[in-house]
Amino acid sequence: MNAIQQVIQKQKQNGYRCLIGYITTGDPSPLQTLEIADALIRGGVDILELGLPFSDPIADGPTIQNASLRALKAGTTPKCVLEIVKQIKTKQDIPLVIMTYYNPVFKYGVKRFLIDAKMAGVNGFIIPDLPIEEADEYRQAAKTAQIETIFLASPATSPQRLQRIVDASSGFLYLVSRFGVTGIQTSVEDTTVNLIKKVQPFTSGKIPLAVGFGISKPEHVKRVISAGADAVIVGSAFINIVQRSAQNHGTTLKELELAASTLKVATKV
């Protein structure tokens, strides 16, 4: 069992499900990212997903797109992201997952990037624009580097393709809860609940099921977990706090810790 799955299993044994928090690395600055990570972890985030800023984040809505632009303007590069990972790992003992697009990985050099990431302390990668049909080279390099490959499934994924994705994934399966891009929604629709119940038999006993896109409130967390999710992924809600309180960093950190704490309490089964 890998480090990501160990954390998810430990939370289950303690009567909780896993809270995965997403932030854009380098937003609003690389130095502040370290403090933001600490605040979320103090609040109860079990796994931290670090977005590597990219100029064309096709799976992301305006909130994360704007965060990526701010991070790029602050000078955040892939090497900078790995350095931030290394610094987080010196203080925090939780799994770190990088979410990026394939272009930065390819440009850096797939094998070299994965090896450097492993040395920095990265536990897994999520690459939304890398389809399973074109991922053989990447998957082999990730396996060699001992980094988990986390694929995404969506409401449009057929049962046959879903089975292939489950078989190829490690760490957890990232289930996109709805059509469209990332961003806050007002409620968790019945279609999302039905989707989780449809996918859960494919993952049960094989790999943890994590659900993301639009989850921002405790009631969202409770509904997704009640449907059968092993973990919830929250991103835009945290990034909105970073953006809203940008002029008062102390306030930002307090609000992030409180938000994470409130969401973590909602993961109790």
CB–CB of 224/17 below 8 Å? Answer: no
Hey, what amino acid is at 48? L
The C-alpha atoms of residue 169 and residue 45 are separated, in whole angstroms, by 22
The C-alpha atoms of residue 145 and residue 78 are separated, in whole angstroms, by 17
Q: Find the catalytic residue in 27, 49, 148, 230.
A: 49
* Catalytic (active site) residue 60: yes
Hey, what amino acid is at 128? P
Contacts 24+ apart (CB under 8 A), 165-168: 165/132, 166/202, 166/203, 166/206, 166/207, 168/132, 168/135, 168/139
Going by C-alpha positions, the residue among 106, 104, 107, 157 that lies closest to residue 133 is: 157
Cα 27 to its chain centre, rounded Å, is 16
CB–CB of 85/98 below 8 Å? Answer: yes
* Catalytic (active site) residue 49: yes
Burial class (CB in 10 A: 0-12, 13-18, 19+), 58: exposed
Q: Find the catalytic residue in 27, 46, 60, 255.
A: 60
CB–CB of 153/131 below 8 Å? Answer: no
Catalytic positions: 49, 60
